[in-house]
Structure 1
Amino acid sequence: MGRRTDRRRLVQVTFGADRVSARERSETVAVEEPLEIRVGGESLTVTMRLPGDDMELVHGLLLSEGLIRHREDLMVARYCADTDTMNVIDVTLADGPRPLPVSAQRSLVMHGGCGLCGKANIDAITASVGVLNSERRVEAEVLRALPGRLRAGQQTFDRTGGTHAAGLFTATGETVVIREDVGRHNAVDKVLGWALVNGHDAANDVLQVSSRASFEIVQKAAMAGVGVLSCVSAPSALAIDAAIDTGVTLIAFSREDRLTICSHPDRVLLPGSREPLHGAAGAGA
């Protein structure tokens, strides 16, 4: 495994009440390196990531993009021997090469202005996995504690301040797995890849992420069958639409003192109540 942190000489500027000072200091920073993923020898995508847990990242990315559904769908994943670094992984699918699904065409080989509207992307997800109908209920008291539990597992962030994290937690708040990366999407892929590789059913878990709630994060949760997704920052409109249509309960602005339910509030229980919340969370203005 490559290094996860490195040292750099930086200049820190401090603004005081009556003076501005500058001093050089050595800081620990997160390592960011490219990982090329090949399928059958053909390049699929290149993602920038924090080295480590690469096989989990590959499994999670292929799962969330609809190229595999089960651990057995991926026959072999190995680092390429024809490169000088551990930055290229080639995978062999059990049933051979296949065309990319619409969602993968959007996120892996296309860029802004690719011509697919938001609704087309949501339809591609629901066509692949249907609408989630997990009846698992989660107490609001559990949800408010998850950002702190995720933060407690961010060892690389403690040293660098430069990584995101994602974690799976049980409905009662126990930690299942936590992974870090320089990219929030990669951190999610690593967590979901861990579940796939280890045969863990994440359908009844909560996916907690240290970032905003983007469409891609909702997509990954839905493709993995995760019913509750909680993010510490703001949601996008498309993320809310996707969560509503795919059956994901989306929590945004998850803090110790508050949280915002963007979709399917019936999975959340308030303190002292056994009845789930109801309402039109996520409805357009």
Structure 2
Amino acid sequence: MIPPVARVARRAVTSTGVMAGERAIPEETPVAIVHNGSTYAVMMATPADLEDFGYGFSLTEGVIESLADVEQIETLEFGEEDGVSGVEVRLWLTATRAGEQVARRRQIAGPTGCGLCGVESLELAVKPARTVPEGRGFTAAEISRAVAALPPAQTLNHQTRAVHAAAFWEPEAGLVAVREDVGRHNALDKLVGHLVRRGHAAGGGLVLLTSRVSIEMVQKTAMLGASVLVAVSAPTALAVRTAEKAGITLVAIARDDGFEVFTHPHRIVLDGAEKERFAHVG
């Protein structure tokens, strides 16, 4: 399989002069998601954890509802000698599921992190997110612990400083899984695929993102069934409205010194001192 990280020659220009050397950078390759021999989507992605990507993307797109809808999965790499460079993730669906997808088959070809390329109507672009179960609450200290745990676990980002991460965190277990990719949507799809393949329920933890929160990130989190989404960057207005309707607690701009809660704050459990400070706000 294509390595997810490449080393390339570069010249570093600084105030003290010019120095030759190498830098680790993330690989980016076309990855086609193929259902029963028909290409459904082509995304630019990091060539790692691609079976997770195939399952997760198919689930968050609504192509499958569970692992039971997939009879077989395989990844095939194509090099320049084949006339095309990239990877196909081939999923063979059950006859019933495959038949249901014929009418909605489409092909997407888009740049890194593109989540809506090829959508044929405004209705599909802003479709309502699935309503999530109640799940559990988290203290402010637990959210801070979760946010602090993610950077040390971003192995690809340590090497490249150029990839996004999506992770799942639980108070008892800490970081359950971390997935990285040049595309933020891809990273979340890989995380979804990983958790679903292992039968790991999402109600007891929270989803962590290193990126901004757009509507697609909320929709994918809802498909996973997680009720709390925490991001280090800000959300879009549409993402906030979507999270509100889906019942998701959206926490964003999470830093070492705090965070902001945009929707369903009842899941954020405050201690006595925090409640007192909150009471004096506004």
Q: How far off is 1:158 after superposition?
A: 0.9
Match of 2:200 in 1: 200
Match of 2:45 in 1: 49
Match of 2:19 in 1: 23
Q: How far off is 1:101 after superposition?
A: 9.0
How many angstroms apart in 2 are the aligned matches of 1:200 and 1:80? 27
Q: Is the 8 A contact 1:142 1:171 kept in 2?
A: yes
> How does 1:65-214 map onto structure 2 within 5 Å?
65-80=61-76, 84=82, 87-94=87-94, 95=96, 96-97=98-99, 98=101, 99-100=103-104, 107=115, 110=118, 115-116=121-122, 121-123=126-128, 125=129, 129=130, 131-172=131-172, 174-214=174-214
Q: Is the 8 A contact 2:202 2:224 kept in 1?
A: yes
Task: State how many pairs are aligned.
Answer: 264
**Which letter does structure 1 place at the counterpart of 2:249?**
T
How many angstroms apart in 2 are the aligned matches of 1:166 and 1:258? 20
1:216 aligned onto 2:221:
no
Measured on the aligned residues, the alpha-carbon RMSD in Å equals: 2.9
Q: How far off is 1:142 after superposition?
A: 0.9
**Which letter does structure 2 place at the counterpart of 1:40?**
N
Q: How far off is 1:146 after superposition?
A: 1.8
How many angstroms apart in 1 are the aligned matches of 2:254 and 2:86? 36
Q: How far off is 1:55 after superposition?
A: 0.5
Q: Is the 8 A contact 1:79 1:86 kept in 2?
A: no
Secondary structure, counterpart of 1:212 in structure 2: coil
Residues 207-255 of structure 1: CA deviation (Å, up to 9, x unaligned): 0011111111111001111100101001100110110011111111011
How many angstroms apart in 1 are the aligned matches of 2:92 and 2:195? 20
Unaligned runs of 5+ in 2: 109-113
Inter-CA distance 23–80: structure 2 relative to 1 (3 Å threshold): closer
Secondary structure, counterpart of 1:87 in structure 2: strand
Q: How far off is 1:202 after superposition?
A: 1.2
Unaligned runs of 5+ in 1: 280-285
Q: Is the 8 A contact 2:229 2:249 kept in 1?
A: yes
TM-score normalised according to structure 1 size: 0.83
How many angstroms apart in 2 are the aligned matches of 1:178 and 1:82? 27
Q: Percent identity over the alignment?
A: 30
> How does 1:223-238 map onto structure 2 within 5 Å?
223-238=223-238
How many angstroms apart in 1 are the aligned matches of 2:52 and 2:237? 29
Moved more, 166-175 or 209-218: 166-175
Q: Is the 8 A contact 2:132 2:246 kept in 1?
A: yes
TM-score normalised according to structure 2 size: 0.84
Q: How far off is 1:273 after superposition?
A: 7.9
Inter-CA distance 228–273: structure 2 relative to 1 (3 Å threshold): farther
Inter-CA distance 117–23: structure 2 relative to 1 (3 Å threshold): farther
How many angstroms apart in 2 are the aligned matches of 1:78 and 1:140? 42
